[in-house]
Amino acid sequence: MQTTDKTAREIFNDVMANPQRVPFGFGNKAVLVNVDPQKAYTRTDLFKTAYETDPKQLEYTNQLARGFREKGWPVVWTHVAFLDSAEDAGVWGTRTDTPDSLQNIKYGSERAEFDERCEIDRSRDVIYTKRMPSAFFETPLQSLLVWHQIDTVIITGGSTSGCIRATAVESLSRGYRTIVPMECVADKHESYHYANLTDLHLKYADVLPVANVLEWLNGNT
């Protein structure tokens, strides 16, 4: 095992500066999967479970969503919510039991609501409730992608070390080119955030500036 005195952010910057890294690249048609931009995780003024990395994260996400809709490509929003009994949280909901615990994000609660800054077009965007980290797990996402003949999955949201990572790993495992716009994902601590961005970029996804993703989106006809 290699050791270093560098921070996770410094290691990430070193990896991103490596021109020898071969990207997976974009395909022909993409889906935008916005993972859990709900108040429990975005409203730092309301909930201690929330976090913010880039203050323009949701602004960039909305910009991507507008571009996808213009092309007629699918835009997906996920959020987590559980039954009052929390039985649908399974083992994942057994470590703690406080008002801030995962399994206590209940259907219809403020914590389960999407952040009001999200520009969701409810007449055409797809909304899934998920109960586990990956946006693919026990949701119709795979069927949606098959219907739209998608080959590229672009992922935003949080957390980088949790649901973003899980979704990205499963996306690649299902054969999709996987893109993570770095300004569009967030985590509780910069160490987790940058360590997981590094690992994602080295193994499972292309981690790119959102400007690069927007450039591809706007140039794809």
Q: What's the pLDDT tens digit per position in 148-173?
A: 999 999 999 999 999 999 999 999 99
Sequence-ordered list of residues with C-beta below 8 angstroms from that of 207, at least 6 positions apart, any chain: 16, 180, 182, 197, 200, 201
Paired strand residues for 158: 186
Query: What's the fold here for domain 26-219?
Result: Rossmann fold (3.40.50)
- Residues 98-143: pLDDT tens digits? 999 999 999 999 999 999 999 999 999 999 999 999 999 999 999 9
Sequence-ordered list of residues with C-beta below 8 angstroms from that of 89, at least 6 positions apart, any chain: 82, 102, 103, 131
Torsion sign over Cα 129, 50, 169, 96:
negative
Q: Quote the percentage of the chain above a pLDDT of 90.
A: 96
Q: How confident is the model at residue 221 (pLDDT cuts 50, 70, 90)?
A: low
Sequence-ordered list of residues with C-beta below 8 angstroms from that of 92, at least 6 positions apart, any chain: 102, 103, 132
- pLDDT for the residue 138: 97
